[in-house]
Amino acid sequence: MIEPRTRAKAATPWSAWMFILVAAMALCGVIAAALVYRHYFGSAVSASSSEWNNFGTFFGGLLGPILSMLAFFALVYTIFLQEQQLSLARATLKAADDDKELTRKQLEAAVETQKRTAEALALQNKLGSDQATRAAFFEMISLHNQIVQDTAFKDYEPIAPGVPPREVAFEGRRAFRYFYERVFEPAYSLESRKNDRLGAAKRSLREFDRFLFGELNASYSDELAHYFRNLYRILRFIDESALEQKDKDALAGILRAQLSNSELGLIFYNGLSALGENGLKRLLEEYRVLQHLSPTLCINRESAAHYHVKAFGKAKDKFFADQGLREPQDPAAP
Protein backbone atom coordinates (compact mmCIF):
# COMPACT_ATOMS: atom_id res chain seq x y z
CA MET A 1 0.00 0.00 0.00
CA ILE A 2 2.92 2.39 0.55
CA GLU A 3 4.30 2.11 -3.00
CA PRO A 4 1.09 3.22 -4.88
CA ARG A 5 0.71 6.24 -2.60
CA THR A 6 4.30 7.26 -3.35
CA ARG A 7 3.58 7.07 -7.07
CA ALA A 8 0.47 9.24 -6.66
CA LYS A 9 2.46 11.98 -4.95
CA ALA A 10 5.15 11.87 -7.68
CA ALA A 11 2.56 12.11 -10.53
CA THR A 12 0.75 15.20 -9.20
CA PRO A 13 3.37 17.89 -10.27
CA TRP A 14 3.54 16.53 -13.83
CA SER A 15 -0.19 16.96 -14.33
CA ALA A 16 -0.04 20.55 -13.05
CA TRP A 17 2.87 21.39 -15.32
CA MET A 18 1.05 19.85 -18.29
CA PHE A 19 -2.02 22.03 -17.78
CA ILE A 20 0.20 25.11 -17.38
CA LEU A 21 2.01 24.23 -20.61
CA VAL A 22 -1.24 23.83 -22.56
CA ALA A 23 -2.56 27.13 -21.23
CA ALA A 24 0.73 28.87 -22.09
CA MET A 25 0.69 27.44 -25.60
CA ALA A 26 -2.88 28.60 -26.09
CA LEU A 27 -1.99 32.08 -24.83
CA CYS A 28 1.07 32.20 -27.07
CA GLY A 29 -1.09 31.19 -30.02
CA VAL A 30 -3.50 34.05 -29.33
CA ILE A 31 -0.65 36.55 -29.00
CA ALA A 32 1.06 35.23 -32.14
CA ALA A 33 -2.19 35.50 -34.12
CA ALA A 34 -2.67 39.08 -32.90
CA LEU A 35 0.87 40.04 -33.86
CA VAL A 36 0.54 38.49 -37.32
CA TYR A 37 -2.74 40.33 -37.91
CA ARG A 38 -1.23 43.63 -36.80
CA HIS A 39 1.82 43.14 -39.00
CA TYR A 40 -0.19 42.59 -42.15
CA PHE A 41 -3.35 44.59 -41.55
CA GLY A 42 -2.28 47.35 -39.18
CA SER A 43 -3.25 48.19 -35.64
CA ALA A 44 -6.01 50.70 -36.31
CA VAL A 45 -9.40 49.85 -34.91
CA SER A 46 -11.92 49.67 -37.75
CA ALA A 47 -15.51 50.86 -37.52
CA SER A 48 -16.61 48.50 -40.26
CA SER A 49 -18.43 45.34 -39.27
CA SER A 50 -17.00 43.52 -42.24
CA GLU A 51 -13.49 44.23 -40.99
CA TRP A 52 -14.38 42.80 -37.60
CA ASN A 53 -15.92 39.81 -39.33
CA ASN A 54 -12.71 39.26 -41.26
CA PHE A 55 -10.74 39.70 -38.02
CA GLY A 56 -12.83 36.99 -36.29
CA THR A 57 -12.55 34.68 -39.24
CA PHE A 58 -8.78 35.13 -39.25
CA PHE A 59 -8.42 34.37 -35.56
CA GLY A 60 -10.85 31.45 -35.73
CA GLY A 61 -9.23 29.94 -38.76
CA LEU A 62 -5.74 30.31 -37.36
CA LEU A 63 -6.26 29.44 -33.69
CA GLY A 64 -9.13 26.94 -34.03
CA PRO A 65 -7.06 23.97 -35.24
CA ILE A 66 -4.25 24.78 -32.81
CA LEU A 67 -6.57 25.04 -29.82
CA SER A 68 -8.48 21.94 -30.93
CA MET A 69 -5.24 20.00 -31.13
CA LEU A 70 -4.20 21.28 -27.70
CA ALA A 71 -7.62 20.33 -26.34
CA PHE A 72 -7.24 16.88 -27.88
CA PHE A 73 -3.82 16.45 -26.28
CA ALA A 74 -5.25 17.63 -22.97
CA LEU A 75 -8.12 15.16 -23.30
CA VAL A 76 -5.72 12.32 -24.08
CA TYR A 77 -3.57 13.28 -21.13
CA THR A 78 -6.65 13.48 -18.91
CA ILE A 79 -7.65 9.99 -19.98
CA PHE A 80 -4.10 8.87 -19.29
CA LEU A 81 -4.26 10.39 -15.81
CA GLN A 82 -7.64 8.77 -15.17
CA GLU A 83 -6.23 5.42 -16.25
CA GLN A 84 -3.34 5.93 -13.87
CA GLN A 85 -5.75 6.80 -11.08
CA LEU A 86 -7.86 3.73 -11.86
CA SER A 87 -4.74 1.56 -11.91
CA LEU A 88 -3.68 3.08 -8.62
CA ALA A 89 -7.14 2.46 -7.17
CA ARG A 90 -7.09 -1.14 -8.39
CA ALA A 91 -3.61 -1.62 -6.91
CA THR A 92 -4.78 -0.08 -3.65
CA LEU A 93 -7.84 -2.35 -3.52
CA LYS A 94 -5.71 -5.37 -4.38
CA ALA A 95 -3.23 -4.42 -1.67
CA ALA A 96 -6.12 -4.03 0.76
CA ASP A 97 -7.47 -7.45 -0.25
CA ASP A 98 -4.00 -8.92 0.13
CA ASP A 99 -3.74 -7.34 3.57
CA LYS A 100 -7.13 -8.78 4.51
CA GLU A 101 -6.11 -12.22 3.23
CA LEU A 102 -2.82 -11.98 5.10
CA THR A 103 -4.65 -10.90 8.24
CA ARG A 104 -7.11 -13.77 7.83
CA LYS A 105 -4.27 -16.26 7.41
CA GLN A 106 -2.48 -14.80 10.42
CA LEU A 107 -5.67 -15.10 12.48
CA GLU A 108 -6.15 -18.68 11.32
CA ALA A 109 -2.53 -19.43 12.18
CA ALA A 110 -3.00 -17.82 15.59
CA VAL A 111 -6.16 -19.86 16.21
CA GLU A 112 -4.39 -23.05 15.12
CA THR A 113 -1.45 -22.21 17.36
CA GLN A 114 -3.77 -21.62 20.30
CA LYS A 115 -5.56 -24.87 19.53
CA ARG A 116 -2.30 -26.80 19.44
CA THR A 117 -1.17 -25.08 22.62
CA ALA A 118 -4.43 -26.01 24.32
CA GLU A 119 -4.09 -29.61 23.12
CA ALA A 120 -0.49 -29.73 24.34
CA LEU A 121 -1.52 -28.34 27.72
CA ALA A 122 -4.41 -30.80 27.92
CA LEU A 123 -2.06 -33.65 27.06
CA GLN A 124 0.47 -32.40 29.58
CA ASN A 125 -2.23 -32.13 32.24
CA LYS A 126 -3.49 -35.62 31.39
CA LEU A 127 0.01 -37.05 31.56
CA GLY A 128 0.56 -35.30 34.87
CA SER A 129 -2.79 -36.55 36.15
CA ASP A 130 -2.10 -40.09 34.94
CA GLN A 131 1.33 -40.03 36.54
CA ALA A 132 -0.15 -38.81 39.82
CA THR A 133 -2.82 -41.53 39.60
CA ARG A 134 -0.21 -44.24 39.09
CA ALA A 135 1.91 -42.88 41.93
CA ALA A 136 -1.09 -42.92 44.26
CA PHE A 137 -1.97 -46.44 43.10
CA PHE A 138 1.47 -47.81 43.90
CA GLU A 139 1.34 -46.17 47.31
CA MET A 140 -1.95 -47.98 47.90
CA ILE A 141 -0.37 -51.24 46.72
CA SER A 142 2.48 -50.66 49.17
CA LEU A 143 -0.07 -50.10 51.93
CA HIS A 144 -1.91 -53.26 50.87
CA ASN A 145 1.25 -55.34 51.17
CA GLN A 146 2.01 -53.73 54.52
CA ILE A 147 -1.46 -54.68 55.76
CA VAL A 148 -0.86 -58.24 54.58
CA GLN A 149 2.48 -58.37 56.41
CA ASP A 150 0.91 -57.00 59.59
CA THR A 151 -1.97 -59.49 59.58
CA ALA A 152 -1.39 -62.17 62.21
CA PHE A 153 -3.24 -64.98 63.97
CA LYS A 154 -2.18 -67.01 66.98
CA ASP A 155 -3.05 -70.63 67.63
CA TYR A 156 -1.88 -73.51 69.78
CA GLU A 157 -0.44 -76.74 68.42
CA PRO A 158 -0.17 -79.91 70.50
CA ILE A 159 3.33 -81.27 70.99
CA ALA A 160 2.82 -84.55 72.82
CA PRO A 161 0.36 -86.09 75.30
CA GLY A 162 0.71 -84.43 78.67
CA VAL A 163 2.74 -81.56 77.22
CA PRO A 164 1.12 -78.14 77.06
CA PRO A 165 0.52 -77.02 73.47
CA ARG A 166 2.83 -74.39 72.15
CA GLU A 167 1.72 -71.04 70.81
CA VAL A 168 2.25 -70.56 67.10
CA ALA A 169 1.98 -67.25 65.26
CA PHE A 170 0.84 -67.09 61.66
CA GLU A 171 1.85 -63.83 60.01
CA GLY A 172 1.63 -62.27 56.58
CA ARG A 173 0.26 -64.46 53.83
CA ARG A 174 0.56 -67.49 56.11
CA ALA A 175 -2.08 -65.79 58.27
CA PHE A 176 -4.54 -65.74 55.36
CA ARG A 177 -3.84 -69.38 54.60
CA TYR A 178 -4.34 -70.24 58.27
CA PHE A 179 -7.63 -68.37 58.45
CA TYR A 180 -8.95 -69.90 55.25
CA GLU A 181 -7.98 -73.51 55.97
CA ARG A 182 -8.38 -73.69 59.76
CA VAL A 183 -11.13 -71.19 60.45
CA PHE A 184 -13.25 -70.48 57.40
CA GLU A 185 -13.40 -73.93 55.75
CA PRO A 186 -14.29 -75.81 58.96
CA ALA A 187 -16.87 -73.18 59.89
CA TYR A 188 -18.37 -73.29 56.40
CA SER A 189 -18.63 -77.08 56.44
CA LEU A 190 -20.13 -77.11 59.94
CA GLU A 191 -22.70 -74.41 59.23
CA SER A 192 -23.53 -76.01 55.89
CA ARG A 193 -24.43 -79.29 57.62
CA LYS A 194 -26.53 -77.41 60.15
CA ASN A 195 -28.28 -75.58 57.34
CA ASP A 196 -29.04 -78.85 55.55
CA ARG A 197 -30.83 -80.12 58.67
CA LEU A 198 -33.20 -77.14 58.78
CA GLY A 199 -35.54 -78.65 56.21
CA ALA A 200 -38.05 -76.11 54.94
CA ALA A 201 -36.26 -73.31 56.81
CA LYS A 202 -33.03 -74.07 55.00
CA ARG A 203 -31.25 -71.06 53.54
CA SER A 204 -30.53 -70.98 49.83
CA LEU A 205 -26.89 -71.17 48.79
CA ARG A 206 -26.89 -67.46 48.01
CA GLU A 207 -28.36 -66.57 51.39
CA PHE A 208 -26.02 -68.98 53.15
CA ASP A 209 -22.90 -67.46 51.55
CA ARG A 210 -24.16 -63.96 52.33
CA PHE A 211 -24.80 -64.86 55.97
CA LEU A 212 -21.78 -67.01 56.86
CA PHE A 213 -18.90 -64.86 55.69
CA GLY A 214 -20.53 -61.79 57.19
CA GLU A 215 -20.66 -63.53 60.57
CA LEU A 216 -17.03 -64.65 60.40
CA ASN A 217 -15.87 -61.26 59.16
CA ALA A 218 -17.60 -59.62 62.11
CA SER A 219 -15.93 -62.05 64.52
CA TYR A 220 -12.48 -61.34 63.08
CA SER A 221 -12.98 -57.71 62.08
CA ASP A 222 -9.86 -56.53 63.93
CA GLU A 223 -7.71 -58.83 61.82
CA LEU A 224 -9.44 -58.71 58.42
CA ALA A 225 -11.86 -55.79 58.06
CA HIS A 226 -9.22 -53.19 57.19
CA TYR A 227 -7.75 -55.56 54.57
CA PHE A 228 -11.04 -55.80 52.67
CA ARG A 229 -11.76 -52.09 53.06
CA ASN A 230 -8.36 -51.24 51.59
CA LEU A 231 -8.84 -53.72 48.73
CA TYR A 232 -12.22 -52.18 47.94
CA ARG A 233 -10.69 -48.70 48.04
CA ILE A 234 -7.94 -49.68 45.58
CA LEU A 235 -10.44 -51.11 43.10
CA ARG A 236 -12.72 -48.12 43.46
CA PHE A 237 -9.76 -45.78 42.97
CA ILE A 238 -8.93 -47.55 39.70
CA ASP A 239 -12.55 -47.49 38.58
CA GLU A 240 -13.09 -43.78 39.30
CA SER A 241 -9.78 -42.59 37.86
CA ALA A 242 -9.57 -40.67 34.57
CA LEU A 243 -7.31 -43.30 33.01
CA GLU A 244 -8.20 -45.03 29.77
CA GLN A 245 -9.75 -48.45 30.16
CA LYS A 246 -6.62 -50.29 29.03
CA ASP A 247 -4.61 -48.46 31.70
CA LYS A 248 -7.21 -49.31 34.33
CA ASP A 249 -7.01 -52.96 33.32
CA ALA A 250 -3.21 -52.80 33.57
CA LEU A 251 -3.38 -51.47 37.13
CA ALA A 252 -5.97 -54.09 38.03
CA GLY A 253 -3.58 -56.73 36.66
CA ILE A 254 -0.85 -55.44 38.97
CA LEU A 255 -3.26 -55.70 41.89
CA ARG A 256 -4.23 -59.27 40.93
CA ALA A 257 -0.56 -60.21 40.95
CA GLN A 258 -0.34 -59.25 44.65
CA LEU A 259 -3.04 -61.69 45.78
CA SER A 260 -2.25 -65.14 47.12
CA ASN A 261 -4.52 -68.16 46.66
CA SER A 262 -5.88 -67.93 50.19
CA GLU A 263 -6.55 -64.23 49.78
CA LEU A 264 -8.48 -64.93 46.57
CA GLY A 265 -10.56 -67.57 48.35
CA LEU A 266 -11.51 -65.12 51.10
CA ILE A 267 -12.12 -62.33 48.57
CA PHE A 268 -14.41 -64.67 46.62
CA TYR A 269 -16.70 -65.18 49.62
CA ASN A 270 -16.40 -61.60 50.85
CA GLY A 271 -17.82 -60.43 47.52
CA LEU A 272 -20.87 -62.64 48.14
CA SER A 273 -21.38 -61.43 51.70
CA ALA A 274 -23.79 -58.70 52.74
CA LEU A 275 -20.84 -56.33 53.09
CA GLY A 276 -19.41 -56.96 49.63
CA GLU A 277 -22.37 -57.64 47.35
CA ASN A 278 -23.28 -53.96 46.87
CA GLY A 279 -19.81 -52.65 46.08
CA LEU A 280 -16.88 -55.01 46.03
CA LYS A 281 -18.65 -57.68 43.96
CA ARG A 282 -19.18 -55.39 40.97
CA LEU A 283 -15.53 -54.32 41.00
CA LEU A 284 -14.34 -57.93 41.27
CA GLU A 285 -16.37 -58.68 38.16
CA GLU A 286 -15.40 -55.56 36.24
CA TYR A 287 -11.64 -56.04 36.73
CA ARG A 288 -11.51 -59.87 36.63
CA VAL A 289 -9.96 -60.07 40.10
CA LEU A 290 -10.86 -63.77 40.47
CA GLN A 291 -9.07 -64.76 37.27
CA HIS A 292 -6.36 -66.70 39.15
CA LEU A 293 -8.68 -68.26 41.73
CA SER A 294 -8.41 -72.04 41.90
CA PRO A 295 -11.74 -73.91 41.89
CA THR A 296 -10.43 -75.98 44.81
CA LEU A 297 -10.71 -72.87 46.99
CA CYS A 298 -14.45 -72.72 46.41
CA ILE A 299 -15.94 -74.92 49.09
CA ASN A 300 -19.17 -75.10 47.13
CA ARG A 301 -18.33 -74.45 43.49
CA GLU A 302 -21.92 -73.65 42.66
CA SER A 303 -21.33 -70.36 44.48
CA ALA A 304 -19.35 -69.25 41.41
CA ALA A 305 -22.65 -68.96 39.53
CA HIS A 306 -23.51 -65.98 41.73
CA TYR A 307 -20.76 -63.99 40.00
CA HIS A 308 -20.80 -62.57 36.52
CA VAL A 309 -18.62 -64.63 34.21
CA LYS A 310 -16.31 -61.61 33.73
CA ALA A 311 -15.03 -61.96 37.29
CA PHE A 312 -13.04 -65.07 36.29
CA GLY A 313 -11.55 -63.63 33.09
CA LYS A 314 -9.77 -66.20 30.95
CA ALA A 315 -10.21 -68.85 33.65
CA LYS A 316 -14.01 -68.89 33.40
CA ASP A 317 -14.08 -72.41 31.94
CA LYS A 318 -12.58 -73.75 35.17
CA PHE A 319 -15.70 -72.62 36.99
CA PHE A 320 -18.42 -73.08 34.42
CA ALA A 321 -17.81 -75.32 31.40
CA ASP A 322 -15.61 -77.79 33.28
CA GLN A 323 -17.98 -77.90 36.26
CA GLY A 324 -21.17 -78.01 34.23
CA LEU A 325 -22.38 -74.72 35.73
CA ARG A 326 -24.33 -72.04 33.91
CA GLU A 327 -22.63 -68.77 32.97
CA PRO A 328 -24.60 -65.80 34.34
CA GLN A 329 -24.37 -62.82 31.98
CA ASP A 330 -26.12 -60.30 34.20
CA PRO A 331 -23.78 -58.72 36.79
CA ALA A 332 -26.70 -58.70 39.20
CA ALA A 333 -27.30 -62.41 38.77
CA PRO A 334 -28.68 -63.98 41.95
Please report the DSSP string for 88-139 in residue order: HHHHHHHHHHHHHHHHHHHHHHHHHHHHHHHHHHHHHHHHHHHHHHHHHHHH
Query: Could you tell me if 183 and 301 lie in one domain?
Result: yes
**Are 221 and 101 contained in the same domain?**
no
Per-residue pLDDT of the chain (334 residues; tens, 9 = 90+): 444 444 444 445 666 676 677 677 777 777 776 777 666 666 666 666 776 777 677 767 766 777 777 777 778 778 887 888 888 888 888 888 888 988 999 999 889 888 888 888 887 887 888 889 999 999 999 999 999 999 999 888 777 777 788 888 899 999 999 998 888 888 888 888 888 787 777 888 878 887 777 788 778 888 888 999 999 999 999 999 989 999 999 999 999 999 999 999 999 988 888 888 888 999 999 999 999 888 887 777 788 888 888 888 887 777 666 555 555 554 444 3
Using a 10 angstrom Cβ sphere, with 0-12 exposed, 13-18 middle and 19 or more buried, the burial of residue 115 is: exposed
Shared-domain flag, residues 76 and 158? no
| Domain membership flag for residue 324 | no
Please give the Cα distance from 23 to 166 (Å, whole number): 138
* Residue 254 CA neighbour count, 13 Å, CB half: 17
Count of domains in the chain?
2
Answer whether residue 236 is part of any domain: yes
26 and 96 in a single domain? The answer is yes
Instruction: Kindly state whether residues 97 and 165 are assigned to the same domain.
Output: no
Task: Please give the torsion angle defined by the CA atoms of residues 203, 207, 212 and 214, in that order, rounded to the nearest 10 degrees.
Answer: -150
Question: pTM of the entire structure?
Answer: 0.63
Last residue of a domain, one of 96, 128, 160: 128
195 and 281, same structural domain? yes
**Domain coverage including residue 85:** 2-128
Asked, for residue 144, whether it belongs to a domain, the answer is no
Are 85 and 181 found together in one domain?
no
Residue 133 placed within a domain: no
Is there a single domain that holds both residue 78 and residue 199?
Answer: no
